Amino acid sequence: MNLLVTGGSGYIGSHAVRLLARGGHEIWIYDDCLRGHRAAVPRGRLIEGEVGDRASIERVLRERRIDAVLHFAGVALVGESMARPDFYERKNLHASAVMFEAMESVGVRQIVFSSTTATYGAPEQMPISEDTPQRPINPYGATKLAVERLLEERCRRDGWAAFALRYFNAAGATPAGDLGEDHDPETHLIPLVLQVALGQRPRITVFGDDYPTPDGTCVRDYVHVDDLARAHAAALDRLRPGDFQACNLGSGCGHSVREVIEACRRATGRAIAEEIGPRREGDPPVLYADIRRAQCVLGWQPEYTDLEAICATAWNWHRTHPKGFDDRGA
């Protein structure tokens, strides 16, 4: 297939691009590189532009004879979304709506959408299944849910084929250590812990140790980024006209903050100092996925089921790329 990947210079998008290209697809990346990295994109495959630029998107869809879109583009920081809700509405929702209009105008009606567990908010019952009510508690989750609703309507009204993949905590890097995670600012736990191992920060702060969990720290579901990429390839093969489908993507189990820190200590063989800080407002004690629908509908199963193995791939990337891609301003 001829595929357009929006946000393909980002963390998850770049891993999906590599996997899909190896699968024989013709890949074009459309990205403003606001938070991604040109160095993460295969040479000659990047088209720089805004997802909300309808004329540009239409031109690319026509000229490259695109069959389907994988839509990773957007902004994804919960705290930032609380401070800048209008920015999130513009970048996530409005830009997506414009792109969907462009797709419809040229007859491209197949899409796999990068959604999030944040659409569920803070449910009290675990694990989180696709039937769990979607009640987002921040603008990030709300804008992603709104995009899902737009796609659902496109499927019903115009016969589109759409898949929404709701990620839990993406983690890890390619086993070869040549493609990985590089955010500025970094907010994900595993790379923050590994920065301590690298001597780039003095300690990791554990935000609260009095939660109703086995060790008092928050529990989350960590899924390897290459497993996420494989799910996108599977979703492409299962798009059906007129159907909107959604699947959770996680490991199916939870690990506490302390378990993550200990896994990083084992993976790196280094001491990692920690300190206890106050709880962060809005942090649910436990979040982890029910992945049975992904297993059934996509035929997908995480290959990385061991937390230390996930941390080891991340460490292989961070220790060989201590400055990340080091391409800012390029």
- Cis peptide, bond prior to residue 185, ω within 30 of zero: yes
User: What are φ and ψ of residue 251, in 5° steps?
Assistant: -90, -20
Q: Rounded to 5 degrees, what angle do the CA atoms 24, 21, 53 make?
A: 120
Task: Give dist(CA 97, CA 69) in Å, integer.
Answer: 14
Q: Which of 140, 222, 288, 304 is catalytic?
A: 140
Annotation marks residue 140 as catalytic: yes
Task: Give dist(CA 220, CA 260) in Å, integer.
Answer: 10
Residue type, 254: G
Which of the residues are catalytic?
Answer: 140
